[in-house]
Structure 1
């Protein structure tokens, strides 16, 4: 299909000079319409070639605003040429019929520039529309994230509970609205206190969905437990969760600590999967890292997890932190940051103390954190009122 010709409007006084100017422009395959006044120009004109003698000085601003305009003159001394220049014409040429090739090149150039400008304006309008749509979607996503964050918090246990002589407390601070960290604690019966502490890789919605799965599976497994062999339950849970995460195919893994405190024996049965930092047990001012190691949950098929345990003295504090705490500690190496965490834990009698020592005494959401950050503390049995 042939491309339509650009329509060039020529404004000049009727006569042989106007006819010659129109013929000069038309030699390059351009369509030309010649008129005596700007008001006579038809619609669809792409550019105007106006003789300085045919347009009053007062009409130049309106014409240049309406259409790109080239001005032609028979002499540089034309009195109204400066008025046209001041009004914003594209360019001007003297003796156009003698410089026809130059005039046609100027016309082609102006037409190309105008097409580019039109395309730029269309792109800008399209971008503004897309930005408005994006802002709307972002606002909706933010509301969804905030709602999801509220639901996730509802799944957490009530803070500061004393269960069977053991006080449980935590601080939960998502990176934004949703967190990949999760925890829970409650009595299985009058003898056993179950708790777990999870840190799912990444943060945001996909990691938060894994915490929902963890909550669901934990509730199911608790209902299925027959009350026998509590020492085997943590390791079995981790193996089952490892299989469930691999079966989902979502590419998420987690570090996890699962513990069961035998309140009668004052003994902790536990298992772990790549927990970092390791849980810290504080007794009489001395900090001890719980023993054991295990593979991350959700990475390796058929992974086996250790069955571990330790006695709990009458007075103890057990601290568990997600790896986001490492971003808040001084030190150039992991070992130096872990040593710093031990010192801060040793100097903290309460959860509020540790938050203050780590400069974490802020309201979640008011200040950006480098990562999801969660701290859990269990104290007993002589610290039940601490």
Structure 2
């Protein structure tokens, strides 16, 4: 039952109004100062009571916000001059005295209906806030798991040093990198950028990690050596993503380094910008035009071989970098990226500083760096 607070200085009007309301509402009357701090759904005052208590009324409404707490003033012609300025602003309805019962019924119904809607909206907002917090907690756990799947940073495998950095635009990332020993003669590395952002894209990166781990295990157990043929791996991943009906695709660069001959075998699935290779003298892009992985059934992927210089830096940067560079033309952006990889001491940390990238900045897309360095 809705609760109506009566604060009328005119005792007879208060008694009659309470008598009329009591069959339909719980009527509260008594010490106005105390009752204004209590729970109620609507308050009816007369002009003299409002003139005396308007500051307490305004304070009570302020404490209730964003909920709607209605105040209705019964006003006689004699006291009309009292309801002006701030006093008028703190009430929601005025009704003339003597009061027509049908008009009062309509006014009360309207005000109480708005009050009920505000309560329901607040309940929905509370549930939404709890659900959003739960989602944020889930994303926090997912982010922790996803980052645990990343390889050790500044890892040395044979003569090569691998480092990486992910700067995410959302709590969960669609970018992923990995590098690992395949056997005593080969090591592998890849960068992938899954379409979209958030949970669904991060899920695909976990799937990718699982697929690659399976191909690696198949090689080590002597069942299948496809992990040494990057083009074949991208073909398989293309069919996996299409067959899974995930509505996701990815760009990917997968490379296999030969420890004996410093030779790179790689395949590329739509990765752009191309990897940058610095040979100690100049930097150039390395790569071939190709289709993303998981987008077209007819896509095929070649394995390309490249003899690497005795000492080099290879830098892979995801396409999110292109959205934050200030140059207006793509050609200029790519030229600027080449200029960044210009000496043997280049590091990811130096690139991040040069580009003024921080996790605190709002980014339109994930930006990921993978760097391989071999000293001559």
Task: Tell me what 2:62 maps to.
Answer: none
In structure 2, distance between residues paired with 1:289 and 1:142? 39
In structure 2, distance between residues paired with 1:139 and 1:165? 46
Tell me whether 1:326 sits opposite 2:309 in the alignment: no
Aligned runs of 1:45-64 on 2, under 5 Å? none
Secondary structure in 1 matching 2:161:
strand
What count of residue pairs does the alignment treat as equivalent?
322
Q: Pairwise CA RMSD of aligned residues?
A: 3.4
Q: 2:288 aligns with which of 289, 292, 308?
A: 292
In structure 2, distance between residues paired with 1:291 and 1:253? 20
Cα gap change, 1:35/1:279 in structure 2, threshold over 3 Å: closer, same or farther? closer
Task: Tell me what 1:266 maps to.
Answer: 262
CA shift for structure 1 position 279: 0.4
Secondary structure in 1 matching 2:196:
coil
Task: Tell me what 1:178 maps to.
Answer: 172
Contact 1:194 1:259 in 2 (8 A): yes
In structure 2, distance between residues paired with 1:39 and 1:218? 77
Aligned runs of 1:299-310 on 2, under 5 Å? 299-310=295-306
TM-score (norm 1): 0.74
In structure 1, distance between residues paired with 2:156 and 2:231? 25
Task: Tell me what 1:82 maps to.
Answer: 79
Task: Tell me what 1:199 maps to.
Answer: 193
5+ residue gaps, structure 2, are: 1-9, 26-45, 58-69
Task: Tell me what 1:237 maps to.
Answer: 233
Q: What's the CA shift string for 1:24-47, capped at 9, x where partnerless?
A: xxxxxxxxxx9984554451469x
Secondary structure in 1 matching 2:211:
helix
CA shift for structure 1 position 263: 1.4
CA shift for structure 1 position 368: 3.0
Q: 1:345 aligns with which of 341, 347, 352?
A: 341
Question: 37-46 vs 336-345, which deviates more?
Answer: 37-46
CA shift for structure 1 position 248: 1.4
Task: Tell me what 2:28 maps to.
Answer: none
In structure 1, distance between residues paired with 2:223 and 2:160? 20
In structure 2, distance between residues paired with 1:209 and 1:57? 64
Task: Tell me what 2:243 maps to.
Answer: 247
Task: Tell me what 1:373 maps to.
Answer: 367
Secondary structure in 2 matching 1:217:
helix
Contact 2:266 2:304 in 1 (8 A): yes
Tell me whether 1:134 sits opposite 2:128 in the alignment: yes
CA shift for structure 1 position 59: 7.6
Task: Tell me what 1:219 maps to.
Answer: 213
In structure 1, distance between residues paired with 2:156 and 2:71? 81
Task: Tell me what 1:123 maps to.
Answer: 117
CA shift for structure 1 position 370: 2.7
Contact 1:199 1:254 in 2 (8 A): yes
Cα gap change, 1:44/1:341 in structure 2, threshold over 3 Å: closer, same or farther? farther
Task: Give the greater-gyration-radius structure (CA).
Answer: 1
TM-score (norm 2): 0.76
CA shift for structure 1 position 222: 1.3
In structure 2, distance between residues paired with 1:274 and 1:352? 26
